[in-house]
Amino acid sequence: MNSLNLTHDPKARSWLASANGSDFPIQNLPYGRCRRLGRQEAWRCCVAIGDQVLDLTLLATQSAWLSVPGVNTALAAAAVQAASRDLRDLMRMGTDAWHALRVAMFLALREDASSDVQQQLKTALLAQSEAEIGMPVQVGEYTDFYTSLHHARNVGMAIGNGGQVAPNFFWMPIAYHGRASSLGVQQRLHRPMGQAIAPGQEQPTYGPSQRLDYELEMAIYIGQDNDWGSPVAMDRAESHIFGMGLLNDWSARDIQFWEMAPLGPFQGKNFATSLSPWIVTMEALAPFRLPFSRADEHPQPLPYLDGQDLRSHGGLDIGLSVSLQTAKMRELGSPAQEISKTNFKYQHWCVSQMVVQHTAGGCNLHAGDVLGTGTVSGPTAPEAGAIIELAKAGKEPITLGNGEQRSFLLDGDAIVLRGVCEREGHVRIGFGECVGEVLPAETN
């Protein structure tokens, strides 16, 4: 999955004009689920291409598009049939099936595809503007990691502990089990209620969170299962990863910090987690791999978290950004304003290491499970992945272009996460957007 092949050809263009130059060219082909807008139909697995979606349930009823040179016809046919039932069925088939279907769709969408093939695919296309886009897959379990050294230090400085980081951070990817039931796309979430304690007080109060925050993260989607009691070895870890998306781990900081003594996050995190609607496959990300290295002043990974493949291409060059749109901006028709920009390459731990650590004790992961990467922050102040870092825990509010200020999020604020991969000599691909809007608390 880390080697380049014909599906990464930078010269390839699609006969679907909207695909060329978009977030979703034929070199991307991310998976999701959709149905026709305004209809209470069953969700169908689909692939984003330009401003359209390719309905795999409809595509599975066709066959001519599979019978072209370069396609493993039998495996691609089995793969599209699996996807038409449930994306998790395709995920469980493994990397060979994922590749076979990708090649088949790429060739059928390429500009030199025959008129018969083009016609078959046109019957399975639906404009994104006419589609309701849902959760990309039914998620069974959700785990959130904590893998950015810059984020850990920034938050420590903001809350007054001098930027100290727990010693175990340098030896393993740390995580907690989250709540899958509150994952969603295009969320409009209510400000959470909970307990918090004000500085200098001895007794907490109960009420709406006053320190609501976002966290810029990425989602890792598990593809193949591992058996209970059977850890995943480093050299097999990425064959268990289907792809990645964007994730916003909404955080009520006042509730979170009060309850996290001594256990991990609970109500400060479980009220909402927003996902982008598309899963960009690991094969699509192959042109944007980076070597993994660890600074000399930090401990090197233990052998079970290390390996030659990790060292040569374990990193990922993914540009990420956060934009904020206030209620006032929305009323005036003003777009969201970018407030930070960073890159996934700065994470202290790689995606394969997160999978290995999750399964090291024998935990069994399943197709469709989501692992959050933890907040992605870079080495400079404008690269912070949460407002608690940007605004120094509320002590230095950020000022927006229209003069509004934010220490933490207010009701009516909307957060938009974006991700793109760009490298000279390769076609730019995108992750789309992860969007969430804050509504007032429900106090009943």
Q: Based on the fold, state whether residues 173 and 219 are members of the same structural domain.
A: yes
Number of domains in the chain: 2
pLDDT in tens, 109-157: 999 999 999 999 999 999 999 999 999 999 999 999 999 999 999 998 8
Which CATH number covers residue 146? 3.90.850.10
**Among candidate residues 106, 133, 160, the one where a domain is terminated:** 133
Residue 297 belongs to some domain of the structure:
yes
Q: Based on the fold, state whether residues 74 and 208 are members of the same structural domain.
A: no
Query: What is the pLDDT at residue 199?
Result: 87
Residue 402 belongs to some domain of the structure:
yes
Contact 408, 394 (CB under 8 A): yes
Provide the annotated active-site residues.
Answer: 151
pLDDT in tens, 350-368: 999 999 999 999 999 999 9
Contact 50, 16 (CB under 8 A): yes
Residue 158 belongs to some domain of the structure:
yes
Q: Based on the fold, state whether residues 43 and 188 are members of the same structural domain.
A: no
Residue 444 belongs to some domain of the structure:
no
Q: Based on the fold, state whether residues 152 and 124 are members of the same structural domain.
A: no
Q: Based on the fold, state whether residues 81 and 158 are members of the same structural domain.
A: no
Residue 195 belongs to some domain of the structure:
yes
Exposure class string for 115-138: b at 16+ Cβ within 10 A, else e: eebbebbeebbbebeebbbbbbbe
**Among candidate residues 93, 115, 133, the one where a domain is terminated:** 133
Residue 364 backbone class (left: φ over 0; alpha: ψ -120 to 50; beta: rest)? beta
Residue 287 has pLDDT above 90, yes or no: yes
Which token pair is 338? 């970018």
Residue 1 belongs to some domain of the structure:
no
Which one-letter amino acid corresponds to residue 363? C
Taken as a whole, the chain contains a residue count of: 444
Q: Based on the fold, state whether residues 195 and 126 are members of the same structural domain.
A: no
Q: Based on the fold, state whether residues 379 and 278 are members of the same structural domain.
A: yes
pTM of the model: 0.97
Q: Choose among 281, 319, 286: nearest CA to 422.
A: 319
Residues 6+ apart with CB under 8 A from 308: none
The average pLDDT across 215-239 equals 97
Residue 302 belongs to some domain of the structure:
yes
Q: Based on the fold, state whether residues 61 and 176 are members of the same structural domain.
A: no
Residue 298 has pLDDT above 80, yes or no: yes
**Mean pLDDT across the chain:** 96
Q: Based on the fold, state whether residues 347 and 432 are members of the same structural domain.
A: yes
Which CATH number covers residue 99? 2.30.30.230
Q: Based on the fold, state whether residues 21 and 71 are members of the same structural domain.
A: yes
Q: Based on the fold, state whether residues 67 and 193 are members of the same structural domain.
A: no
Q: Based on the fold, state whether residues 100 and 157 are members of the same structural domain.
A: no
Angle at 422 between CA 241 and CA 309, to 5 degrees: 40
- Range(s) of the domain holding residue 102: 6-133
Q: What percent of the chain has pLDDT over 70?
A: 100
Residue 1 has pLDDT above 70, yes or no: no
Query: What is the pLDDT at residue 67?
Result: 86
**Among candidate residues 133, 157, 174, the one where a domain is terminated:** 133
The average pLDDT across 397-409 equals 97
